[in-house]
A = this chain, B = another copy of it.
Amino acid sequence: MKKANVPTYKNLRKRKKRIPGESPGTFVVLDNALPSKLRIYAYDEENIAELETSSIEKALAFVNSHPEKFYWLDIQGLGSQEVLNSVQQKFNINALVMEDIVNNHQRPKYEEFSNCIFVVSRVLELDENINLKNEQLSLIVNHNFLITFQEDYEDILNPIRQRLVHKKLGNIRTLGPSYLLYAIMDVATDHNFNLINRLGDELEIIEGILYDKPQKSIMYRIQGVKKIMLTMRRIAWPERDKLNDLYKSSSIFIHPDVKVFLRDVADHNVQIIDLLETYRETSTTMMDIYLSMINNRMNEVMKILTVISAIFIPLTFIAGVYGMNFAVEDPVSGKIMKNNMPELYWENGYFFVWVLMIVITVLQIIYFIKKGWFRD
């Protein structure tokens, strides 16, 4: 009963015990969080400057010395308490938001504040060991600033950085931080889309096996897919609400021309939900088919047992009867007892008993054929 080698997810193990009654807003970085690396861009339609550092002071100095219109501060690794403290103070971020950023188990959500908007996304990927990686991506947006918070250094935002640097005069340079927000939502959605497509492929492979040679491993593979889909659903539905809220929001921090792009990414997310619900039903159906195949096979096993038993048990009884030792002559007194098993002394007794047994067998086989046991 070895478990099949299918995708599993281990992120449930991150649960930490809360200490009830803590003051809100005294956020503390997690023990296993990575040290923070900063990357900052200052840009407008024409120009762009970039700085990589791990010092928040240098980053802020860079901002002050670059009078471009827009800035993007990307923070990778959420383990440097003092960096996060400085960011909070500099940008006047609500303590509850900081708490949500470092406690990386938030649902996708969109919250409006007077001086910014706060967005949480989740990015799902299967890593090389086919474990599910479920990363929180937090974003703060105001008129001219975007701050992104990523859990680790693996960089899913690189393609956006490339476009930002090279697409002079494009939307990404002219529409400000809310367009960057859209672009990041789009990347996250595309990652999730690739995962759901991979699950679709896995389900097709399982289905092939199911109809070809059903084995016990199928059950584990289906359950593996279902587990990942369970996590995806937990994310996809609040993601939908978030994107709809963003699209319909009247926040001043979202450029009006970005709305149509947000509608597009919301549309992609609805497609993900659509596929999720379809695959869910597909996997349930495959499980049902598998179980009923098992049932059918059991039925077949029982039929074979019953046919063999039903045929041979009576025959064995007959053989047993003529194996009895009732004596025709009392060994002590020598008395002859003609009634004891006279068949044994018939000229063709042995032949008659074979005839009897063959007749019984034939009758039973006819009965089973009539019952349809040898059909299908």
Q: Which of A36-65 contact B (CB under 8 A)?
A: none
Nearest-Cβ distance from residue A300 to partner chain B, whole angstroms: 8
Contact A305 B306 (CB under 8 A): yes
**Per a CB cutoff under 8 Å, which of B17, B261, B321, B345 touches A331?**
B345
Q: How far is the CA of A373 from the CA of B215 in the complex (A)?
A: 11
A200 at the interface (CB under 8 A from B): yes
Q: Which residues of B contact A204 (CB under 8 A)?
A: 12-13
Contact B323 A325 (CB under 8 A): yes
Q: Which residues of B contact A345 (CB under 8 A)?
A: 327, 330-332, 337
A190 at the interface (CB under 8 A from B): yes
Mask, A134-150, CB within 8 Å of B = 1, is 00000000000000000
A86 at the interface (CB under 8 A from B): no
* A105 touching B322 in the complex, CB below 8 Å, given contacts A23-B167, A301-B306, A339-B350: no
Q: How far is the CA of A285 from the CA of B219 in the complex (A)?
A: 11
**Per a CB cutoff under 8 Å, which of B160, B298, B310, B351 touches A308?**
B310
A365 at the interface (CB under 8 A from B): no
**Per a CB cutoff under 8 Å, which of B3, B107, B190, B215 touches A274?**
B107
Contact B326 A230 (CB under 8 A): no
List A residues at the B interface (Cβ < 8 Å): 1, 3, 12-13, 15-24, 94, 96, 99-100, 105-107, 109, 111, 156-160, 162-163, 167, 170, 172, 183, 186-187, 190-191, 193-194, 197, 200-201, 204, 211, 213, 215-217, 219, 223, 226-227, 230-231, 234, 260-261, 263-264, 267, 270-271, 274, 277-278, 281-282, 285, 287-289, 291-299, 301-306, 308-310, 312-317, 319-332, 336-341, 343-351, 353, 372-373, 375-376
